[in-house]
Structure formats: C-alpha cells, structure tokens
Structure 1
C-alpha cells in the first residue's frame, strides 16, 4: 500500500487534425503513451505483482496490449489470450515497454499506408476476414483505454502515483 500520494500532472487529450483518421490515431497514440508510462519506473517485483485477485499486474497489461497490437494490425495469431496477461519472468520492465513501443511503431507503419478507413485492414491471416481500418482503430482505442484505466489503478496502489 502506498505511503504517500504522488500526483503527476495530467496530460490533456490530444488536439488532432480535422479528419476522422487523424482524430482516431491521435487518441490511440495518446492512450498508448499513457499506458506505457504507467509501467515505467516501477521497480521489481511491484511492476509484476498482482494488484487484484484476478492476477492483473502492470507488466502483464502491457504485455497483453503488445499482443493485441500485433494481432489487430500485423495479423499475428494468438492461441492463448489469457497467457498474454503475464510477462515472462526473464523479461525486464524495460524490455516489455520496448517491445510494446516497437509493436506500436510497426502497427503505425501499417496504418500509414491505409488511406481509406472503410477498407479492410491489410494483414495476412488465412481464413479470417480483416476488419475495416476504422473498426480496428476504434477497437484499439477501446482496448487500450480500458487497460489504461486498469493501469491507473494498479499504479496508484503501488506507489500512490496518479495522473497521465
């Protein structure tokens, strides 16, 4: 349990360009940065210590979001989603954060080539239709936002830090 509350200043929502694509990508990038920041600077073992009975922990959330980014935008298959909520014991927090950021960068490279939000997302997943770019962006905003909220609570339980 934290002994003293630390408040980090909130970063306001992004001011994006006027297009739908710029707005969706701006908010997704804002959430991506927020959730990654929650895991930075948290020492072992707190970064991987569950804060709730389900076993959810900061490093596991970021590891999970790495897999979601790769599945959604890069077409990678995940056979055990539950397992993605735990980082390997050999993985440092810095490595998990770096992997997440690298996955985001690769996802953004795919999105950079998508001019039409109604078009299917270009990915190679045999036997499964690709969602539209719009759907994928909206889904990732929802998924990342939900887990960013979890990360907010977990980080506050660890050291009292709040804010984005």
Structure 2
C-alpha cells in the first residue's frame, strides 16, 4: 500500500445477533468436560487465561500515557480502554456470576454506558493496570476456589443460556 492508495472503508458490524453480541452464550456445548481430567483441564484453561491477560497488558509496555489513550479504531477504542474493559469483564464473569463480587468495585463497573471502554482523565495508565491486576487476582482466587462444574448465572445473557459452569466461563474468557 502506498500513500496514493485510497484508505479502505470501514463498515460497522451487522446488527443481527452474533456469537459476540450474545456474550458467546450461543455456544451451547462450551461447558462440556465429559471424559477429561477436570483438574488438568482447569489448570490448562487457567494458564491460557493468564497468558492472554499478560499479552494484553504487555501491549501497554513502553507506551506513554498519550499513546495508550490514542484512538486506534474508527470507534475511538484505544489500548488503555481495552485493558480497562477486559479488567471489568473478568471482574464480572469471575465475580458476580459466581456470587463472589469484587470487593470495593469502581462505580463504572455497573455502568451500561460504555464507561469501561475508555479511561477517564482522572484514571492514569498505572491506575488501569493496577485495577486489571486486582481483577485478575480476584478472578484467579475464584478459579482456585471452585471446581470446573461450579454453577453460576450470567444475568446479562439470554434467559435460556445464562446458567453456566466455571468451565464454560473459562472457555468463554480464554
């Protein structure tokens, strides 16, 4: 691509329900552990989750505050906002879903206005990373405390799919 080439058009995603818009809840067999050593599977899924978390936070390494907040998509999403969003999502999935809410959660965690997608001016890069680590530690404690077949409820998923297991949430989040 040269500077003379036209910039490709960006089109919004279709409005029809998709796996992503349903929170992945459309994957109905996502929680099956038949015939598998549950502890080995749990450790493996947990390790993958930890690996993906570390890779995401590493995207902030070496970035100045302004670079971390720089919009990189047509919607204005930035790396710092993605880290904040993932931290909030893991706090909800490994906290609220299993009746283990994150102690002293930030007010924006319950917001439905997209407040989790962007760091506010009073939230620094260090603040967001610290919250990510806190929510990860809380998620890890939930994973360690529960068996793969532990039951939870995802209230924001459709009624017929909201009853889940820890296994299903580990797959969903990994």
Name which of 125, 144, 151 aligns with 1:120.
Answer: 151
C-alpha change, 1:137 and 1:51, in structure 2 (3 Å) is same
Structure 2 residue aligned with 1:84: 116
Q: Does 1:32 align with 2:32?
A: no
Gaps of 5+ in 1: 1-17, 142-164
Equivalences, count: 121
CA distance in 2, matches of 1:97, 1:87: 11
Superposed displacement of residue 103, structure 1 = 0.5
Name which of 71, 76, 85 aligns with 2:92.
Answer: 71
CA distance in 2, matches of 1:81, 1:36: 24
Superposed displacement of residue 122, structure 1 = 8.7
Tell me if the contact between 1:36 and 1:62 (Cα under 8 Å) persists in the aligned partners. yes
Structure 2 residue aligned with 1:106: 138
Gaps of 5+ in 2: 1-38, 102-108
Name which of 147, 166, 171 aligns with 1:133.
Answer: 166
Structure 2 residue aligned with 1:52: 73
TM-score (norm 1): 0.66
Q: CA RMSD in A?
A: 2.5
Tell me if the contact between 1:25 and 1:137 (Cα under 8 Å) persists in the aligned partners. yes
C-alpha change, 1:79 and 1:130, in structure 2 (3 Å) is farther
TM-score (norm 2): 0.62
Higher RCO (CA-CA < 8 Å; seq separation 6+)? 1
SS at match of 1:131: strand
Higher helix share: 1
C-alpha change, 1:81 and 1:109, in structure 2 (3 Å) is farther
Tell me if the contact between 1:71 and 1:78 (Cα under 8 Å) persists in the aligned partners. no
